[in-house]
Amino acid sequence: MKPQVLVSREVFDETLALLNAVCEVDSNQADTRYSTDELVARLQGKQGAVISTADRIDAGVLDRCPGLRIVSNVGVGYNNIDVPACTARGVMATNTPGVLTDSVADYTFGLVIATCRRMTEGEQHLRSGDWKGSFLKQMLGHDVHGATLGIVGMGRIGQTVARRASGFDMKIIYHNRNRIDAAIEASLKAEYRSLEALLGEADIVVLLTPYSPASHHMIGAAQLALMRPSAVLINVARGGIVDDAALIGALKARRIWAAGLDVYENEPAFNPGFLDLGNVVLSPHLASASEPTRKAMAHTAARNCIAALTGGVPPNLLNPETATAR
């Protein structure tokens, strides 16, 4: 009998074809978001779950789905999965690193430029019919080229953003839990700073660190107070790394100049305070959303799931203990 797999959100036809070749697939092609109870109900009798980063898999869910052997996240960030709880129950957990690095780095740069050069504000002005012509002091922004870029989280995506930044003649400083290899630092021309020093020095702070209890509200009122009044904050990592209420306060009071955000606390709920501000560029968690990249993410997740259910070791296994234990 083929293994049974739930795909919790809509995926591409090619992704389904990959899975269908090996598994019996129940796919939510209507793309409605399942509540926890619906997810648990759908997972009954399934050995595999291909899930979105909006689906929470915790100990409670795992205990109600005892047949589950693999939870395959379509996304690199996996703070939606309690990996130790999976490991304790012998459930494999996987993610999709690598395939989205360049697209997220591109988008990060898009947000940097849009925020510094007030691009969405300008578009809104034009669309509103208020534009009376160009004048010297109209919507003056900040230059990106030559600015000091502070990257918080120097993993794959952070390093790729640093490479993009060198094309803009930027000075690159970074903070990471562990200092990166000296040779990589040198090749990126990136200088290490403590978080506090980086916040005080950078013209543009880009957050690319994973979300965990340790990074919860890593940027709150105290950290925003360390930033320059002319500084820009960009978050393409995860909601919860920034204290959104504190950020709204800082943007309103112009304690920092502007922000560009792709992620929010409690997505898809959204702090409406952002909507009253002109100095924030907002986008709905789109950093990886190019068609080739989203396809690569879905196919990678499918391959991870298939490997687990056919006796192999998934290439992106987050808890290798589960492979050695079986």
What are the residues binding ligand DGY (CB under 6 A)? 53, 75-77, 100, 288
Contact 55, 31 (CB under 8 A): no
In the complex with ligand DGY, the residue whose CB is nearer, 81 or 205, is: 81
Quickly list DSSP for 5-64. Answer: EEE-S---HHHHHHHHTTSEEEE-TT-PPPPHHHHHHHHTT-SEEEEETTS-B-HHHHHH
For residue 271, the tally of other CB atoms under 10 A from its CB is 14
CA distance 244 to 267: 12
Q: Which of 238, 294, 299, 303 is catalytic?
A: 238
Enter the tokens of residue 11.
């995926």
**Maximum distance among all alpha carbons in the chain?**
71
Minimum Å gap between C-beta 170 and ligand DGY is: 24
Minimum Å gap between C-beta 91 and ligand DGY is: 20
3-state helix, strand, coil in the chain (%, to 5): 40, 15, 45
Helix (H, G, I), strand (E, B) or coil at 23: coil
Q: Which of 10, 24, 191, 267 is catalytic?
A: 267
Q: Is 123 a catalytic residue?
A: no
Minimum Å gap between C-beta 287 and ligand DGY is: 6
In the complex with ligand DGY, the residue whose CB is nearer, 221 or 286, is: 286
Minimum Å gap between C-beta 209 and ligand DGY is: 12
In the complex with ligand DGY, the residue whose CB is nearer, 100 or 227, is: 100
Contact 114, 135 (CB under 8 A): no
For residue 291, the tally of other CB atoms under 10 A from its CB is 9
Q: Is 285 a catalytic residue?
A: yes
Q: What is the identity of the amino acid at 195?
A: L
Enter the tokens of residue 228.
């320059």
Helix (H, G, I), strand (E, B) or coil at 51: strand
CA distance 65 to 322: 17
Contact 198, 175 (CB under 8 A): yes
Q: Is 38 a catalytic residue?
A: no
Q: Which of 9, 69, 118, 285 is catalytic?
A: 285
In the complex with ligand DGY, the residue whose CB is nearer, 62 or 104, is: 104
In the complex with ligand DGY, the residue whose CB is nearer, 75 or 110, is: 75
Q: C-alpha angle 236/58/56, rounded to 5°?
A: 40
Q: Which sign, positive or negative, has the C-alpha torsion 245, 236, 287, 261?
A: positive
Q: What is the identity of the amino acid at 161?
A: V
Minimum Å gap between C-beta 282 and ligand DGY is: 16
In the complex with ligand DGY, the residue whose CB is nearer, 168 or 270, is: 270
In the complex with ligand DGY, the residue whose CB is nearer, 61 or 287, is: 287
Contact 62, 87 (CB under 8 A): no
For residue 146, the tally of other CB atoms under 10 A from its CB is 10
Minimum Å gap between C-beta 75 and ligand DGY is: 3
Minimum Å gap between C-beta 79 and ligand DGY is: 9
Q: Which residues are catalytic?
A: 238, 267, 285
